[in-house]
Chains A and B, each alone.
Chain A
Amino acid sequence: ETGVTQTPRHLVMGMTNKKSLKCEQHLGHNAMYWYKQSAKKPLELMFVYNFKEQTENNSVPSRFSPECPNSSHLFLHLHTLQPEDSALYLCASSQRTGGPGANVLTFGAGSRLTVL
């Protein structure tokens, strides 16, 4: 596999469920990101990890819990979500330093989440 892979592609969950989104990158990048894309709104940065360490948390509610066990994998754990959390969740990765390709985000195809 190449690029950034996200699973599942589609997820429907109730407000009391607990689920997780998974992201894996095969690009050798050292930074990984979670973005939220809602209809008619800009992409919103949620979390950033550099070398497995969280460096950005964009005031995200605690019902979203990220986990980065290594520089290739990123999870987003979801619990007690609200219907307004329904959106496309995009994972991205980048090479933080070095060369003209540094900081270019490579996105996964996204996980479409529906909260009932």
Chain B
Amino acid sequence: GQNIDQPTEMTATEGAIVQINCTYQTSGFNGLFWYQQHAGEAPTFLSYNVLDGLEEKGRFSSFLSRSKGYSYLLLKELQMKDSASYLCAVKGYGQNFVFGPGTRLSVLP
């Protein structure tokens, strides 16, 4: 079966660092993606991992361990505009992208 888990909600303070975890069990693996979705808006692509290790893009980094079925998204120097839902998605066979439930992050002043 297909299962992706993320914490439902997280809260952090402006300027801090937050790590959002994602665990997955899917039939087939061809990459793990992170998307950001502000309320009422479309999800937008943040990062992509297909090999184990850390990918860094500015204030955002994403880590993958395929053997553990585990990824995390690390957000540094949090800003108020980072308040959003963060979606973990796994690409399985073909064009099947399976999404997790999303983690709603609230950044407080």
Contacts and interface: CB of A to CB of B under 8 A. Distances in A.
Contact of A41 (B33, B89, B95, B101): B101
Interface string B96-107: 111111100000
A105 B87 CA distance: 12
Given A56-B95, A105-B97, A42 B102 contact: yes
Nearest to A3: B42
Interface stretch (A12-20, A59-67, A74-82, A106-114): A106-114
Contact of A90 (B30, B42, B89, B95): B42
Interface residues of A, number: 26
A110 B99 contact: no
Interface of B: 4, 30-31, 33, 35, 41-45, 48, 87, 89, 91, 94-102
